[in-house]
């Protein structure tokens, strides 16, 4: 997810200043057990309710391997495949840092995992959200290219004082988007794929609105990050949304 700055900085920072060692060896047995519990529960919950490239990514990246993933081992598979790699961060990074990372095919992953008492409540995304929710789709070549493009659009939009335009595109596709796949409504976004409560809700609730995704509609649609979404945008297909976002230039985005 992307949001607010949390670091107090006294000199200009690049994204590399936010990278920390993952210190995988410091995850406890209970941390690994929490990952295993979350992973097993979410895979069962999702079944085939999530888009196919997501399920392919779980397999390709061997995310079903027990325990919190070691980012070095994960990158050894991911980077040769699509040029993306993960880095550890301590929490949410400022939007300009986040988009700068994306533009260089670097995905930030929290260096912590929720506690057992907090399985369904998170103040900010932990490594289960980041790794289970986001990383499978980065094994897909077209989606990988799209996210890099979102990073470039984000940098341009922030420079123009219009960062919210890209934040909304990201929110309504990469985080909380739905997508049609051979006529079936599926989960696309990482925020849904990694959520125990909202995954089924997004597909099945009859108290929410679902409207077709388009870049202009996403840009004009605000969102809430503290409650289940009252509105989901539905991609005609993953490929269609990837194509539409890739075809959007910064100039076009700022003219919406």
Positions that interact with Fe ion (CB under 5 A) = 1, 190
User: How far is 151 from 209, CA to CA, in rounded Å?
Assistant: 28
Which residue's CB is nearer to Fe ion, number 147 or number 158?
147
Distance CA 48, CA 76 (A): 27
Query: Which residue, 30 or 196, is less far from Fe ion as judged by CB?
Result: 196
Q: Strand 209-212 and strand 184-187: pairing?
A: unpaired
Q: Which of 223, 206, 193, 198 is nearest to 131 (CA)?
A: 193
Q: How far is the CB of 32 from Fe ion (least distance, A)?
A: 22
Nearest CB to Fe ion, comparing residues 66 and 197: 197
If the CB atoms of residues 125 and 155 are measured against Fe ion, the closer one turns out to be 125
**Looking at beta carbons only, is 1 or 192 nearer to Fe ion?**
1
Tell me the HSE value of 241 on the side-chain side, using a 13 A CA sphere. 29
Least separation in angstroms between residue 29's CB and Fe ion is 27
Of 33, 69, 63, 31, the residue nearest 46 (C-alpha):
63
State the nearest-atom distance from the C-beta of 130 to Fe ion, in Å.
6
Which CB, 1 or 101, lies closer to Fe ion? 1
Query: Shortest gap between Cβ of 87 and Fe ion (angstroms)?
Result: 15
Find the shortest distance in angstroms from Cβ 64 to Fe ion: 20
> Which of residues 190 and 253 has its CB atom nearest to Fe ion in the complex?
190
Helix (H, G, I), strand (E, B) or coil at 255: helix
In whole angstroms, how close is the CB of 132 to Fe ion at the nearest point?
Answer: 10
* Closest-CA residue to 127 (of 108, 106, 105, 112): 112
In whole angstroms, give the CA distance from residue 95 to residue 98.
Answer: 5
CB 138 → Fe ion: shortest distance, Å?
12
Q: Of all residues in this chain, which one has the CB nearest to Fe ion in the complex?
A: 1
Alpha helices in 108-180 (DSSP H): 127, 141-159, 163-170
* DSSP per-residue letters across 159-171: HTT-HHHHHHHHI
């Amino acid at each position: 997810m992307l949001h607010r700055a949390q670091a107090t900085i006294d000199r200009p920072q690049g994204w590399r200043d936010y990278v920390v060692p993952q210190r995988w060896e410091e995850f406890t047995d209970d941390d690994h057990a929490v990952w295993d519990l979350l992973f097993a529960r979410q895979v069962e919950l999702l079944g085939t309710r999530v888009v196919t490239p997501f399920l392919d990514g779980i397999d390709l990246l061997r995310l079903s391997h027990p325990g919190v993933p070691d980012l070095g081992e994960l990158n050894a598979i991911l980077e040769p495949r699509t040029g993306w790699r993960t880095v550890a961060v301590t929490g949410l990074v400022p939007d300009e840092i986040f988009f700068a990372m994306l533009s260089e095919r670097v995905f930030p992953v929290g260096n912590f995992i929720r506690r057992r008492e907090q399985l369904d409540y998170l103040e900010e995304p932990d490594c289960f959200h980041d790794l289970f929710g986001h990383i499978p789709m980065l094994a897909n070549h077209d989606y990988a290219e799209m996210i890099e493009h979102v990073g470039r659009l984000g940098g341009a939009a922030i420079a123009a004082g219009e960062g919210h335009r890209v934040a909304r595109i990201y929110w309504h596709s990469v985080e909380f988007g739905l997508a049609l796949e051979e006529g079936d409504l599926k989960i696309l976004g990482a925020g849904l794929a990694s959520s125990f409560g909202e995954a089924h809700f997004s597909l099945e609730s009859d108290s929410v609105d679902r409207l077709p995704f388009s870049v202009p509609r996403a840009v004009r649609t605000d969102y809430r990050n503290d409650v289940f979404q009252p509105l989901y945008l539905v991609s005609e297909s993953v490929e269609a949304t990837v194509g539409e976002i890739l075809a959007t230039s910064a100039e076009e985005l700022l003219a919406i």
